Chains A and B, each alone.
Chain A
Amino acid sequence: MTDISASLGQLGISEEQVDLLHVATEFCRDKSPVEDVRKLIETDRGYDEKVWSEIAELGWLGIAVPEEFGGSGLGVGEIVPIAEQMGRALMATPFIPATVAGQLLAKAGTERQKEEVLPALAAGERFATTAFGEPGDDMAALGENEAGGFLVSGTTRLVEYAADADLIILAFSHGGSRQLALVERSALPGEALRREAIIDDTRRAYELRLDTFEVAGDAVLDPDKVEEALAHADMVGALLYAADMVGGTFRVVDYTADYLRTRKQFEKVIGSFQALKHPLVDAFIGHERARSHLYAAAHSFGDQGRGEVAVRMAKAQGEKAYAYAADRAIQFHGGFGFTYDCDAGLHRRRAIWNATRYGDARAQKRRLAELLF
């Protein structure tokens, strides 16, 4: 009998994680009250530059960037408590794409790119996002010039926070292979970006359209490292979105419990009705399961084989928990639940967005079955 348990994530927590958890809990609570989240929804940028620079000052954008490039040189798992607490606060922030972009550059950047760009990313002086492309996107190089540069055309969708990023790490196909290049956003033609209407109003995403856009040779990332870096970025993204979902699940259960403790009907506080109480308990249990998986994934992230299994499980369980909790939250708020004013809706919509990023539960589970059975 094959022993699957050896391939599963294991739990552990580091001192750094504990510290970050405590600092992040307070920071996110203070800096992202839901009234502020709602104000930011009305803005184009979609996030608060001041809070963003405070995040940078805390060093959170360089946690897993190597020390030689200005980061703290910790593991990706150490970032998890921050992303989790951001999820709890529904924080509007480019933190996840910026972190993934930093990881991508650290993995596949040339020495020069890393020296020139990474320290600025780690310090939050500049920020980069990623343009990986969705299924069906067709960003491609037409040909290579002598300097190793490309002319790139096509469309890439759902580029997070592209309009405000300083840099975009652009993926495109060339022949049979994938390439990555570091593109200055300011170099894009005026019409290149179009804001897309996405389900999650607390985030921003753009369609990027290029027509024979010139990518210089020294902007291209190390082609030999692209696939490995993309696989790594995939795991980082999945882990951080899982964290966001676990945090969101916590908050939406809490938010609903609050309502169930106060709202009265039939002269009774509605939380005494088991038709509400029991599903909310199930939602809470979903959170507990997902959180256990999340911190196992954080702890096991760097382990060969086990890390991938743990991250995929965390992502799948996070989605399941958040979707259920937020779905029930809408229902349990009655007519108010159907309004834009009720936070349940913000959560449900954020949960759907999060699910789609870096593979939804369906995709994760299919991959897990291949890895495990």
Chain B
Amino acid sequence: MVEIDTERCKGCGLCVEACPRKILALSTEFNKAGHHPAVLLDPDRCIYCLACARLCPDLAITISKEAETV
């Protein structure tokens, strides 16, 4: 599960750029600080590569997975 803390997100787009599956995008909505937060468009296609989280300068992304499928 890729969880994006939309209030920590600054809409920099580095996660969008990093995702090999191209399943992240910046929302058209604003968060409280006025940024367009990242959103996960298609969770089912995620390969849990962690690239998005590693490229997020604001540690807005947390990734977890059902234990048995790890």
Query: Do A and B make up one complex?
Result: no
Interface, chain A (partner B; CB < 8 A): none
